[in-house]
Structure formats: C-alpha cells, structure tokens
Structure 1
Amino acid sequence: MRADAARNLAAVLRTGARLLADDPGTSISAIAAAAGVDRTTVHRRFATREALLDAVFQAKLDSAARVLDEARLTEAPVAVALHRYVEGIIPVSREWPVDTRRMMMADPKARGRREEQSRRLDDFLQRAADGGFLRTDIPEAWVRGVLDDLVDSAAHRFPDVEAPQAADLVVDMFLNGLGGP
C-alpha cells in the first residue's frame, strides 16, 4: 500500500472510530469529510458503513490484543499485570473510542475475538481474586464492571492525564477499593 493511501486509511479509521463513538449512525460522507478525504476514497475501500465499522472494530481488537499479550496476564505478578493492562488499554480506548461491548458487530469473527479477549480479562480477574488481591464476596460481573468503568473514566473523562499516571490511579483505586481483607 502506498504511503499516502496508508495515511488516508489510518485517518479514516481513527476518524470513523471517534465519530461512530459519538453517533453510531454517522454516514461515510461525514467520516470522509472529517478525515479530510473524498467520499469515493472511503467507498473504494469500504463498500458500506458497516464494512467501515467492522474495520474500526478490527483495528481496536488488534490494539487490545497487543495490550493483553504485553500485560502477560497469566505470567506476571497480578499487580504488575494489572498495571500493564491498564496503562496499555487507556491509550487504545482513547485512540479507538468506539465501544465494542455496546455496538453490534456484524462480523461473527470480530464478535468472537472480542469475547475471547473479554474471557482473558475475566480469567485474569479470577486469578487476582484467587490470589487474594480482590474480594471474593463481590460478584465477578461487578468487579469487571468497576474495572471497565475506571478505565473508561480515566481514558475519556481525564484525557489530559498521561496513561502511566492514569494507570497508577486506576490500579490503586481498583485494588484498594475492591482489595482483599
């Protein structure tokens, strides 16, 4: 792919993620205009808005997969793995603000990838609970929801806080607010 075509694609995907996060019904024309490219440029690459949305989801899932791998959720000490995950996922959430949990993914493969990534994080949280880092008297869904909400808040309500500092705050709040006795 030519360098200018790659730049255009990246701009379309990132702009699409931002606009679709605000309004899932955003048109390809609006995304193209905001990305600074011609509508036909977008249509050459994506036949429909849904195809563009699927590409945005794939880009976010690719980024999230790298974060999960680099966090070493099954090998690293729990607190270290949690911090790595949070520090990595905050920039992903900022760059790709579209919420794959709430928006319908037409592509079953993308849905499956999201579910697999979610299971990896759930398994890690179970490991944290088994290791005494989290209270076991709180429902697992509640624990996961709190972590997701803390990450989302750090990423979007406090965009000026750098990811490492935001991760420090999120991990401290998470472990001390839900920490074991």
Structure 2
Amino acid sequence: MGRALRADAERSVRAILEAAERVLAQDAGASMEQIAEAAGLTRITVHRRFANRQALLEALAVSAKQQLIEAIEDARPDAAPALVALYRVTANTLRVKSTWRFTLGHATPHTETAAALWDDINARTLRLLARAQGEGLIAPDADLKWTRQVYIALLSEAINRPDGDQDPDALANLVIDTLLHGAGPHD
C-alpha cells in the first residue's frame, strides 16, 4: 500500500485490521471471511485490501509496531527524568499491547518494514535504559541489552496477567518496580 488511500478505503483498512485483531485473538485460525463479517464488509473488499491472510498478518504487525512507536513518542522519553519517562513509556506500551494482544503476542514473520520498526523500538528502548543507567536507576555495569530483554518480558507478563489489576498505570508501576528493584527487599 505505497500510495495514500482514499478516506473510505482508509476506513475499510482500519475496520479490517481492528476486526482481524479481535477475531484472531479469539480464534487464531479464523478465516478471511470471518474477519470480513466482523468488519461489516464483504470478503471481496477484504481481499481487495489484503491479497491473502499473510498480507493481512503483515499489515497487523506493521500497524501494531507503528502504534508502539507512537506510544513511545507520546511519552516524550527524552524530555523527562528517566524514571518518569520509563513509567510513561511503560504505561503507554501496556495500553497498546492490550489493544494488540493477538498481533504482539504471536510471532509472525517480519516483513522488512515490520523488522525495521522493531529495530527502531529496540533502539529507543536501549536509549531510555541508557538514560536510566546514567541517572543511577540501573547499575553502571548492567548489560543493557539483557535489561531490555527482561523489560520486554515483564511487559508481556504484565499484560497477560490472569488475575489482578489490568490498569496500565498500576501495571506500569509493577513493571518498573520489578525491573529496578527485583523481588528482593527494598531498602
């Protein structure tokens, strides 16, 4: 979809992506026809926008990752103290992840575009963690790539928590507290 879409086509694509996310979260094997029905569109319209299921999954991956980048940008991670920025990025990320549970929770082959977006997300996360390290929130000798992996795992665990609070702000507190202090006693 290299060129800009007309407003009605853009609405159709958005409706298809939203419906696909909902339907696939319930049934990962759902058909294009089921997705079309959930979007209130014909199967032909869905196939006009997405040639096949793989193209739809790729569009979901790109859209979800673009929203993650927007969530990170909205948190203004370079303008606030690292702890505030880390909290804001975490809460915003959890909001996006709760909307895109299927897409962000399932490994799908990355297109070049999706892979580039993921690389950008990883780079932004590393920059924020480096700021946190520079401000003394993270040990000076901590491996930041490992810390990023732990952070991502904590985000996934928080969003998939079967019981307890699903409020993104409360979960962000839990993630940040666990990342920075672990499960040990607090001084």
Does TM-score exceed 0.5, indicating one fold? Answer: yes
Note if 1:155 corresponds to 2:156.
no
Aligned in 2, Cα 1:24/1:136: closer, same or farther, shift over 3 Å? farther
Aligned in 2, Cα 1:31/1:136: closer, same or farther, shift over 3 Å? farther
- Find 1:174's aligned residue among 156, 168, 179: 179
1:134–1:178 Cα contact (<8 Å) kept: no
- Find 2:50's aligned residue among 46, 51, 56: 46
Q: Which has the higher contact order (CA 8 A, sep 6+)?
A: 1
TM-score, length-normalised on structure 2?
Answer: 0.78
Distance 1:51 1:76 in 2: 38
Q: Secondary structure at the match of 1:171?
A: helix
* Structure 1 unpaired stretches of 5+: none
Distance 2:117 2:30 in 1: 24
Aligned in 2, Cα 1:20/1:82: closer, same or farther, shift over 3 Å? same
- Superposed displacement of residue 50, structure 1: 2.2
* Residue identity in the other structure for 1:139: D
* Residue identity in the other structure for 2:88: R
Note if 1:165 corresponds to 2:166.
no
The sequence identity of aligned pairs, in percent, is 33
- Find 1:94's aligned residue among 92, 98, 105: 98
CA-atom RMSD, angstroms? Answer: 2.9
- Find 2:149's aligned residue among 145, 153, 171: 145
Q: Deviations over 1:66-109 (max 9, x none)?
A: 11112222231011001100110111111112138832122x12
1:87–1:164 Cα contact (<8 Å) kept: yes
* Structure 2 unpaired stretches of 5+: 1-6
1:21–1:99 Cα contact (<8 Å) kept: no
Deviates more, 1:133-142 or 1:21-30: 21-30
Note if 1:123 corresponds to 2:133.
no
